[in-house]
Amino acid sequence: MTDLEKALLDPTMVYTDPSDVVADQSLTRDQQIEILRRWEYDARELEVAEEEAGMTVLRPEMFDLVLQALHTLGAERDTEHTPPTK
């Protein structure tokens, strides 16, 4: 069984790729979406922080991978809680 609390706190502590969340049969669809939404928020915040610091974004594809996984589950991007872009 997946450590749901840990996955909700930091999805990267439990999963290496957003598609792993989709493939996890021990989670309900709602749990998968919640984990991916947290991952989406974290990935976007990291991108913004790296851009603002003048750093190269380490995993620019991660945000897109999370959005693809959400799309696979039929969920839309959470624009209400997404950090603003430049």
pLDDT of residue 32: 96
The count of structural domains within the chain is 1
Q: How far apart are CA 79 and CA 77, in angstroms?
A: 6
Asked if the structure places residue 84 within a domain, the reply is no
- 36 in a structural domain: yes
Print the domain residue range for 50. 4-72
List the chain pLDDT tens, one digit each, 86 residues: 558 999 999 999 999 999 999 999 999 999 999 999 999 998 888 777 777 777 765 566 888 899 999 999 998 766 555 444 44
* E strand residue ranges, 8-84: none
Query: Does residue 52 lie in a domain region?
Result: yes
Distance between CA 30 and CA 52 in Å, rounded?
33
67 touches 40 (CB < 8 A)? yes
Rounded to whole angstroms, the Cα distance separating 76 from 86 reads 22
